[in-house]
Amino acid sequence: MTLPTGVERHDFGGETSLATQGQPVYGERTDGDWRRWDPHRSKLGAMLEQGMETGLEGGETVLYLGAAAGTTVSHVADFGGPTYAVEFAPRPVRELLDAAESRQNLFPLLKDARKPGSYAHVVEPVDVIVQDVATRGQARVAALNKRFLGDDGRLLAAIKARSEDVTADPADVFDSVREELSAEYELLETARLDPYHEDHLGIVARPRED
């Protein structure tokens, strides 16, 4: 697996880690203008760290669902092209705005990812959807947002088992999410994100033609 252009491994005080170039956002370590992309704090970071074939090359147009305070999406904007960040909780969005201040290609949107019609007048068709919404109905969110992906588009999703069902065995939850997702997407690769994120499944998928 090759890293996208704009993502490199750098040494941070004796520890080698993924890094991107941009203004620091969450107190991460820096090496010159490279800032550490901490896989423990980012599911996409963990997917890259696990060697999943994300297909990311750098410069992609991205729709990011569940941007929260901007930890991961700030890295995505560092190596990506136009990056649309959707988050529906106002509190973290204050920090997302700070992260977007220095990133001209990062467009913050206070919107509900279950209502794509409320941002389809702003978001253009994208190369990649990154999804990390950690809420019940994660497969449905991916299905609803499929309209933003072209035929060659990629869905990079992190599925949190406990968001679907706290009591169920994560393996069962992942099975049913995979199955539900398969109606709209062809799953290319799935992998558990342990040890970085317990009971999370990373998914790389492409939209089925309809």
CB 165 within 8 Å of CB 138: no
**SS3 of residue 133 by DSSP:** coil
- Please report how close the Cβ of residue 108 comes to ligand SAM at its closest, in angstroms: 12
Nearer residue to ligand SAM within complex by CB, 11 or 136: 136
| Integer Cα distance of 44 and 66 in angstroms | 12
Burial of 106 (0-12, 13-18, 19+ CB in 10 A): buried
133 labeled part of a ligand binding site: yes
Asked if residue 121 binds other proteins (CB under 8 A), the reply is: yes
If the CB atoms of residues 34 and 185 are measured against other proteins, the closer one turns out to be: 185
Local structure of residue 67 (DSSP, 8 states): -
77 is in an annotated binding site: no
Q: How far apart are CA 85 and CA 185, in angstroms?
A: 22
| Nearer Cβ to other proteins (110/134) | 110
Q: Contact with ligand SAM (CB under 6 A): which of 56, 113, 126, 159?
A: 113
Q: Which stretch binds other proteins (CB under 8 A): 45-53, 120-128, 152-160, 199-207?
A: 120-128
Binding partner selected for residue 132 from other proteins, ligand SAM, none, CB under the kind-specific 5 to 8 Å limit: ligand SAM
β 185-192/83-87 pair status? unpaired
In the set 1, 89, 122, 168, which binds ligand SAM (CB under 6 A)?
89
Helices (DSSP H) in 24-120: which residue ranges?
A: 43-49, 71-79, 90-101
Query: Using the rule CB under 6 A, which residue among 88, 119, 174, 185 binds ligand SAM?
Result: 88
- Integer angstrom CA distances of residue 93 from 78, 86, 150, 158: 18, 9, 28, 20
**Which residue of 3, 120, 143, 144 would you call a contact of other proteins, by CB under 8 A?**
120
Q: What is the contact surface with other proteins in residues (CB under 8 A)?
A: 82, 90-91, 93-94, 96-97, 100-101, 104-110, 117-118, 120-125, 147-148
